[in-house]
Structure 1
Amino acid sequence: MAFNKDEMHAPTWLNDRFLEKALKQSENDSALVVTEYKIVPGSRPGDHYASIIFRASVSFKSRGKNNEISLIVKTIPEADGLKRDLLKNGVVFKTETIMYTTVIPEMQRLFRSVGDETELGPRLLYASKEPHLVMIFEDLAKRNYGMKNNQLDLHDAKIAYSKLAKWHAASMFLADTIPVIKTLDKGIGAIANEDFENIWTANISLLAKVCREWSGYEMYGDRVDSLKKDIHEKIKDIYRFNESTSYNVLNHGDFHFKNMMYKVVDGKTQDILLLDYQVSVWGSPAIDVIYSLYNMCSSETRDNHRNELIKFYYDQFVASLNKFGYLGKIPPLINLHVEILKCGHLETFLSAAFLPFMILTFEELIGQVNKDEGFEMFDPSDPEKMTEMMLGSYRNPKYAAIMQKYLPIFMHKGFLDL
C-alpha cells in the first residue's frame, strides 16, 4: 500500500471554479454558481492504493434556488511517490471510466429488465482527463451508507458475494454484445510496475526472515524466500486471459472490504455498494473469489465458512444466469474449485503482500501516531521506513497467528513451489 502526504490535502486546482464547472455539467445549468464549499479527506490514509479521495460539501445557486450537495472527488496524487508513478499514465482511470460509462449502466439495465432492483455502486457525476485526471461521484454517506473498519463476518460476506455473483453473471451474459468487457486487461498483475515488484520481492524476504524467528516454522523461511524470484510472473499469468480457463468473467479486481459502502440499520447490514472499478479484468472468476476471501472476509469467516461461501456465491451466480435467460452452458461448481486451485499461488501472494494491510489498523502498521496530524505519512519507496513497517506487521501477533496456520496448508497444496 502507498501512502502519500497529499492524501490529506486537496490539490490547489480543486477549488470553487473547478467544482462550478463540474456541477454546471452534472446539473445541466450553465448559469450555476458555487457560493461556498469545503473539502476534507474522503478516506483514511492508505485505504486506496490506486487513488486519493476527497469529500466536497458544496453550496450553489441554480435556476433561482439555493442548493447543497456532497460529492466524492477521486484523483491522483500530485506529490512525487509510488502512487503517482503507478497512476500517472491514466490506465486505471481509463478502465474505471469504461466501467462507469458503459459496463455498469448495461449491467443495471440487464438487472432491471428481469425485475432485479440490485444497485452496484454510486452514480458518476463528472469525469475528465484534462487538465487533471478526476472523477466525481455522488456521496453515498448522504444515503446512509458508511465504511467499516474490519473485515466481514459471514452475514456481511454473503451480501457482498451476492453482489459479486450477479456482477460476474451479468458480465458473462453481456460479454458478446458489449465487446469492451473482454478487452479490460489491466488488473493488478498487469499494472504493477518495477517499483512495486521490487517492494513485494523485498517483503517476501522479510516474511522469510520472520518465519525463521517463529519457533517450529524455521523450515518455511527458505520456502518463502524461494518465491521471490518467479512469483511476479506467476501472478501475471493468473491475471492474464487464458483460453484454457474453464470460463471467464469480468472480475471487479479489487474486491476488498474497504472498497465497499455499507447501509446498516439497527446494527445489521442491509446492503453493500461497490467502489473502485479501476482494475477490473476479464479472466478466471478465481481472481475475485480468492482476492475477496483474503481481503474482504475476516479470518474467522474465511477459515470456518470458506467452502460454504464459495457454494453460496456459485448458487447466486447460476440463479442470476438463469434469470437473465443465459443460453450457454453453465459451468459446474467443480470448475470453479479447479480454477481456485489453479490460481492458488494468488493465495500465497495476497497473504504476504496484502493481508497485513487488511487486518492491521493504520496505527499498528506505522507503529506510531503523529500528535499534530494523527498519523505519520510516508511513501513505501522510502526503503528504511518500508522495511521497518513490514517487519513490524509480519511480527504482529494478529498476522503471525494467521500465517502460522496457513503456511502448512500452502505447502501441502503446492503453493510454496514455483
Structure 2
Amino acid sequence: MNSTDPNTFPFVKYSIGFLKEILSERDDLKQYVPHIASVEHLLCKRSIDMFNEAGSGKRDGIFVLNHGDFHLKNIMIQKNEDKLTDVKLLDYQISIFGSPAIDLHYAFAMMFSPEIRRNHYDELLYFYITNFQDTLRKTEYKGHIPGNFEIRQELTKHRFWGLFIFLCFLIFNYTFIDEDGNLAEVIENPQAQKKELENPKFLNELRELLPKFLHNGYFEI
C-alpha cells in the first residue's frame, strides 16, 4: 500500500488542520494542539509503513488477517428472540495481512459508542485476545500464541495509526449514528467536515481521549 497519496482524500487532507483550528478556539483543548502538530507529519507515513510491514520482510511483531474496514455498516447481525445467532462481515476490498492493531484501533473508533470506549475498552480488548488465543488452540496452531501483553504492545507500537484513525475518522462514527447525518457530504465537502468536527458531543469525547493519548505516550516520536 504505497501508490495512493492519502492527502488526495479531502477528509484526510483537511481533517487535522480543521481539528487544530477548532481545538485552538477552546481554552480547555488548545493545550493539545502542539502535541498533535508535533506528530501529524508522521501519521500517514507510519500508517502506510504498518500496512506494508508484512511484505517488507521485517516481521518482528504479530500478524493476522485484518478486515481493514471494520465498522457497523459492514456487519450483518442475525438475532432470534434477542439472542445473537450469527454475524457476517461485508466488504473485504481492503483486507490485509498485518498487525492486529489495524482492525483493533479502527474498530474502537468506528464501531463502538463513546460510553463503550470509556467504560469497556479493556474488557472488549481482553475478549478479543482470549477468543484469538482459543481459535489458535482449536485450529491446533503450532506456533507461539501471543499473550495479552504482546497484543497490547502492538497497539502501542502502532499508536500513530491509532491517532490517525481517532483524529481523522472518529467523526464519521458520529455521522453514522446521526439520523440527519450525510456521510458522503462529510467525506467530500471540507466545509461540511469542519462543521461536523464542531459537534459538541464529539468535542466532549476528545476531552476524554486527548488526555489519555498524552498520558499513554501516543504523541511521543
| Fold shared by both chains (TM-score > 0.5) | yes
Q: State the partner residue of 1:200.
A: 12
Q: Distance in 1 between matches of 2:69 and 2:110?
A: 9
From 172, 177, 180, the counterpart of 1:363: 180
The one-letter code matched in structure 2 to 1:296 is M
Equivalent residue, structure 2, for 1:261: 76
- Whole-Å Cα distance in 2 between the matches of residues 380 and 333 of structure 1? 35
Q: Which has the higher strand share?
A: 1
Name the aligned partner's letter for residue 403 of structure 1.
L
Inter-partner Cα distance in structure 2 for 1:271 and 1:301: 22
Matches within 5 A, 1:376-395: 378=185, 380=187, 386-395=189-198
For 1:203 and 1:390, how far apart are their aligned partners in 2? Answer: 7
1:397 and 2:209 correspond: no
Change (3 A) 1:193 1:282: same
Q: 1:10-409 alignment to 2 at 5 Å?
A: 186=1, 191=4, 193-196=6-9, 199-241=11-53, 243-360=58-175, 361=178, 363-364=180-181, 378=185, 380=187, 386-409=189-212
Whether the 8 Å contact between 2:72 and 2:111 is mirrored in structure 1 is yes
TM-score of the pair, normalised by structure 2:
0.87
Asked whether the equivalents of residues 285 and 339 of structure 1 are also in contact (C-alpha less than 8 Å), the reply is yes
How far residue 321 of structure 1 moved from its aligned partner, in angstroms, is 1.3
Bigger Cα Rg = 1
Any gaps of 5 or more consecutive residues in structure 2?
none
Q: Deviations over 1:1-31 (max 9, x none)?
A: xxxxxxxxxxxxxxxxxxxxxxxxxxxxxxx
1:227–1:205 distance in 2 versus 1, CA, 3 Å: farther
- Indicate if the aligned counterparts of 1:364 and 1:393 stay in contact, CA closer than 8 A: no
Q: Deviations over 1:35-92 (max 9, x none)?
A: xxxxxxxxxxxxxxxxxxxxxxxxxxxxxxxxxxxxxxxxxxxxxxxxxxxxxxxxxx
**Amino acid of the residue matched to residue 219 of structure 2?**
L
What is the CA-CA distance between 1:406 and the residue it aligns to? 0.6
Q: Is the 8 A contact 1:201 1:228 kept in 2?
A: no
* Structure with more of its chain in helix, by fraction: 2
CA contact (8 A) 1:293 1:302 kept: yes
Contact 1:247–1:284 (8 Å) recurs in 2:
yes
Aligned to 2:215: 412
Aligned length: 216
Give the RMSD, CA atoms, in angstroms: 2.3
CA distance, structure 1, for counterparts of residue 3 and residue 108 of structure 2: 21
Using CA pairs under 8 Å that are at least 6 residues apart, name the structure with larger relative contact order, 1 or 2.
2
Distance 1:211 1:378, change over 3 A: closer
Q: SS where residue 415 of structure 1 aligns?
A: coil
TM-score in terms of structure 1 length: 0.48
Take 1:270 and 1:211, find their aligned partners in 2: how far apart are those partners? 43
CA contact (8 A) 2:6 2:12 kept: no
Cα displacement (A) at 1:357: 0.9
**CA deviation after TM superposition for structure 1 residue 365, in Å:** 5.1
Percent identity between the aligned chains? 30
Letter in 2 for 1:195: T
Q: What is the CA–CA distance in structure 1 between the aligned matches of 2:219 and 2:42, rounded to whole Å?
A: 11
Cα gap change, 1:396 to 1:193, in 2 (>3 Å)? closer
Contact 1:359/1:399 (CA < 8 Å) preserved in 2? yes
CA gap of 1:365–1:399, structure 2 versus 1, over 3 A, is: farther
In the alignment, structure 1 segments of 5+ residues that lack a partner are 1-185, 367-376
1:191/1:262 CA distance change after superposition, 3 Å? farther
The equivalent residue for 1:118 is: none
Which moves more between the two structures, 268-277 or 237-246?
Answer: 237-246
| SS of residue matched to 1:270 | strand
